Structure 1
């Protein structure tokens, strides 16, 4: 059982190691922190922490560094998160203001978060399987191309240009738009996808010009609706991993692969358990089954109804208090922004 002062010594070791990247010794703790006890007493506290596997010696020096278990105890005993400065809050607001749709909001969110933390920023799209399609638009472009636009009541917008074999007259374009709108508008993404799929099957047995023109456009609509149903992430700041490569004992390639594929990170984030503030932390070896044993992931819920999260990914040696405060604040801003947008519609 670690004493109260032992926990304070652990906190000092974590803070000093994160700041300096150097193993922390008892003399350094006495010099930098006002414990009011001798270095010998601090060494006894450090010996207890080492027995509990909360700190370890990276080599033969007298200094110690936190273990993954030590970081976990440190995070679990964070009594409060440092509030962000007014300048940091202004930066978040500046990044997010003026966003035009959900895609833009989330892209701005990861840019803001990676700027604040210096880590890889990640944001999870809400699940749109239950969102309703609110609008369909078809726009004829030059050279036989068409812009297909789908909008959901949650603010998700899909815009895709497709090449067509045959051109449309304005009347044909209007009738096709009405036809597709009748299939999907006011229905959930899932229901709309099912209706489009059934219509596409029916077209296999039709040979009219209208059906021939409709078939390729329906395929695009079906693919975009399926895209709405897929969980996915937006990320920024991957280059920060390379800048912090010395914080990883082995290769950073497993992290790069997880970022590239997204599936691993989505699984990990879905299994993380949030506290009462919507924050969750997964540290080092807790991520071993996902191949991320040298990384930590910090997330905050911004859309509790769909368990959508925003967070950061980085080495276990990170400033947990500051990063958690940044994640919490950004999640709050995004949540409020989306709520305001919902009320305005």
Structure 2
């Protein structure tokens, strides 16, 4: 069993190794930290930590570095999430102020997070699967081309051009808009999708035969767009930081690059991470091996949105500044929550 002083020695090793990228020896711990004991005593503590597989010697006669198990113990019990500086908080507020729409807000979120941490930033979109349709608009671009705009109460906005099989005038557009709005406004995305799919495949009644080809074409486009709303989405920034930090990884960074490109793996991992009572989650090194990302660590924080909770965080090497990265993720998540709570901010 590791003693209290042993745990503090582990904290010192993690902090010094993250700061210097050099294995940490007993003499440097005595010099940098006020333990009030000899280097020989610290060596005994380090030997116990090594027996517990919390630190390891990367080379013969070298200092020690944390293992993934050591990082886990540090994050769970020893890391103190530091508040951001006033300048960092102001940077978040300034960078995220007055977004044009939800997409703009999410892109700004990952950009500011990668600037704060120097890591790859990840953000899940709010879930639109449980959102309700609040508005549909049809804008005639030509007699046979229509811009379809859909808006949800979770901030989702969709715009798509629909080619039509017949020409329409302004009165026709008004009739179609009213019919579609009556069917899907106030409905959940799933129910609205079902209604549009049914409409697209329904034979017209005699009185509605003239406009039905256009109505069916619009229903098909709308159902496809609503299906997009139901898919999970991830936005990222800072992939270039992996190349700059390649020496921090024990092996190849190619699995990380593939995960960034495909997104599905990262979406699963982000969704399955277990949060603590503060809404913070960390997945370290070998804990990510089932996802093929055993070289990386991910830290994340929940944020609140009208459609439920989602996560924002960063991905990088296991040798990362966990307290600072968790603080940045938490601060950005809190500000993002406030932005999404404000009426109309994400639309």
Shorter chain as denominator, the TM-score bin is over 0.9
How far apart, CA to CA, are the structure 2 residues paired with 1:217 and 1:118?
A: 45
Alignment coverage as a number of residue pairs = 345
- Could you tell me how far 1:112 is from its partner in structure 2? 1.2
2:102 corresponds in structure 1 to 102
SS state of the match for residue 310, structure 1? strand
* 1:53-86, Cα deviation, whole Å (9 max, x unpaired): 1111111242111110000000011353111000
Question: What is the rounded CA distance, in whole Å, between the counterparts of 1:131 and 1:237 in structure 2?
Answer: 30
Contact 1:114 1:237 in 2 (8 A): yes
Q: Quick one: distance in 1 between partners of 2:345 and 2:16? A: 46
Write out aligned runs for 1:178-327 (5 A). Answer: 178-203=178-203, 208-303=209-304, 306-327=308-329
Is contact 2:30-2:37 (8 Å) kept?
Answer: yes
Contact 2:17 / 2:23 at 8 angstroms: preserved in 1?
A: yes
The answer to whether 1:49 aligns with 2:36 is no
Which residue number in structure 2 is paired with residue 339 of structure 1? 341
Secondary structure of the residue aligned to 2:314 is strand
Report runs of 4+ in structure 1 exceeding 3 Å deviation. Answer: 142-145, 162-167, 203-209, 342-345
Q: CA RMSD in A?
A: 2.2
Task: Provide structure 1 residue ranges, at least 5 long, that are not aligned to the other structure.
Answer: none
Structure 1 length as normaliser, TM-score? 0.94
TM-score normalized with structure 2 length? 0.93
Note the C-alpha offset of 1:143. 8.9
Matches of 2:319 and 2:174 in 1, distance apart? 58
Give how far 1:37 is off. 1.3
How far the C-alpha of 1:167 sits from its partner, in A, is 3.8
Cα distance, 1:208–1:84 mapped onto 2, change above 3 Å: same
Which whole-Å deviations, capped at 9, do the CAs of 1:86-144 have from their partners, x for residues lacking one? Answer: 00000000111101332222221111111111111111122212211000011122595
Consecutive unaligned residues in structure 2, runs of 5 or more: none
